């Protein structure tokens, strides 16, 4: 007896129906109870995030803390104020110095907030890219000062430029 010429179509339909049933079952079982279908987020997520340790503290954690008091020369409040007035005003301290959790745990400091000595951090924003506006400071070896000082892309940006008072 020869199989029906439509047997492959029936098998395909059965396979598609089984796939749809499996998809609906998995989708129903995989959605957490706290999922809010109206807002498309989990209602419990905010509480869970509050229980996690703080990773980023924002500028207030740098300028208003006892770690960065005002009795030092070139204190942090002065640096923060100069950054807030300069071209890096949109950046937080942690943009360059790394997250608060990398050097502070609770009320104790366990490492200094430093930045890498290489140019990767500077060139992350200031490397010349197609489409970046010309008004935005971009690294160029053809800049007059860079030509005079023989500056290349591997030279130290911070040897001449202070990121707290960029020029």
The H-or-E segment that residue 36 falls in is: strand 35-36
| pLDDT at 75 (0 to 100) | 61
User: Which residue spans within the chain are E strands per DSSP?
Assistant: 35-36, 41-42, 104-105, 108-109
Token duo for residue 36? 């809010």
Q: Which two tokens stand for residue 99?
A: 């997250």
The count of domains in the chain is: 3
Specify the pLDDT at position 23. 95
Q: 16 vs 4, 5, 6, 23, 82, CA distance in Å?
A: 19, 19, 16, 10, 64
38 belongs to a structural domain: yes
Question: Using CA atoms, how far apart are residues 108 and 112, in angstroms rounded to an integer?
Answer: 11
Domain presence at residue 1? no
Predicted confidence (pLDDT) at residue 2 exceeds the cutoff of 80: no
Tell me the two tokens of residue 31.
Answer: 């959605």
Is 37 inside a domain boundary? yes
Same domain, 129 and 148: yes
Across 140-162, average pLDDT: 81
Q: Are residues 40 and 93 in the same domain?
A: no
Residue 133, Ramachandran bin (φ over 0: left; ψ between -120 and 50: alpha; else beta)? beta
Residue of higher predicted confidence among 152 and 72: 152
61 or 161, greater pLDDT: 161
- For residues 110 and 120, membership in a common domain is answered with no
Rounded to the nearest 5 degrees, what angle is found at the Cα of 142, between the Cα atoms of 138 and 147?
Answer: 115
Q: Are residues 41 and 69 in the same domain?
A: no
> What pLDDT score was predicted for residue 64?
60
**Tens digit of pLDDT for each residue in 71-113?**
454 566 667 777 777 777 777 777 778 787 778 777 777 777 7
Domain range enclosing 140? 116-167
Q: Tell me the pLDDT tens digit for each residue of 15-72.
A: 999 999 999 999 888 888 888 777 777 788 888 878 877 777 777 676 666 666 554 5
Q: How far apart are the first and last CA of the chain?
A: 88
Evaluate whether 75 touches 63 at the Cβ level (below 8 Å). no
Backbone angles phi, psi at 134, to 5 degrees: -65, -25
């Amino acid at each position: 007896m020869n199989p029906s010429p439509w047997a492959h179509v029936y098998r395909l339909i059965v396979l598609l129906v089984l796939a749809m049933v499996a998809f609906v079952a998995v989708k129903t079982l995989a959605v957490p109870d706290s999922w809010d279908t109206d807002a498309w987020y989990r209602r419990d997520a905010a509480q869970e995030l509050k229980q996690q340790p703080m990773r980023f503290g924002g500028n207030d954690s740098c300028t208003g803390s006892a770690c960065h008091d005002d009795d030092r020369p070139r204190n942090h409040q002065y640096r923060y104020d100069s950054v807030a007035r300069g071209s890096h005003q949109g950046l937080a301290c942690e943009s360059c110095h790394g997250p608060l959790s990398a050097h502070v745990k609770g009320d104790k400091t366990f490492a200094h907030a430093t930045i890498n000595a290489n140019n990767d951090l500077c060139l992350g924003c200031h490397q010349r890219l197609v489409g970046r506006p010309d008004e935005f400071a971009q690294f160029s070896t053809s800049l007059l000062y860079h030509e005079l000082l023989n500056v290349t892309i591997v030279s130290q940006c911070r040897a001449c430029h202070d990121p707290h008072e960029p020029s």
